Amino acid sequence: MNTIICPVVAEGSRPDPVAQLHTVRRLVEERYSSEQPLARAALHLIDCATDIVGQLPDGDLDAARGALGSARAAVVSATFAVGRVRDMSAAGADQA
């Protein structure tokens, strides 16, 4: 299993979540080939999260709930993508 390690933020500080997402995207790009289906899916999800988090106003509960709904939809899509890639991999292994 490949794991991406990101520096821990000092307790008490509030890092910019968009900057954190940019860092995560860079780490994924450096670690994995963008030709891999799961890496492409991960990069797409990171981009979507970055767009949503960047638009959230501080303290707006309705906007946060809307973002949560979008995040749930993204998780469902990602789960489907992982299953599809797994099925494609298994079918490819059976043909080999």
Is pLDDT above 80 for 79? yes
pTM of the model: 0.59
Is pLDDT above 60 for 4? no
pLDDT for residue 31 = 92
Over range 56-85, report the average pLDDT: 82
Taking the C-alpha atoms of residue 38 and residue 56, their distance in angstroms, rounded to an integer, is: 27
At residue 33, the 3 state secondary structure works out as coil
Closest CA to 81 of 52, 40, 48, 49: 40
Closest CA to 46 of 66, 65, 29, 64: 29
Is pLDDT above 60 for 1? no
pLDDT for residue 90 = 84
Taking the C-alpha atoms of residue 42 and residue 32, their distance in angstroms, rounded to an integer, is: 10
Taking the C-alpha atoms of residue 35 and residue 37, their distance in angstroms, rounded to an integer, is: 6
Question: In the chain, what are the domain boundaries?
Answer: 17-94
24-69 residue pLDDT tens:
999 999 998 878 888 888 888 888 888 888 877 777 778 878 887 8
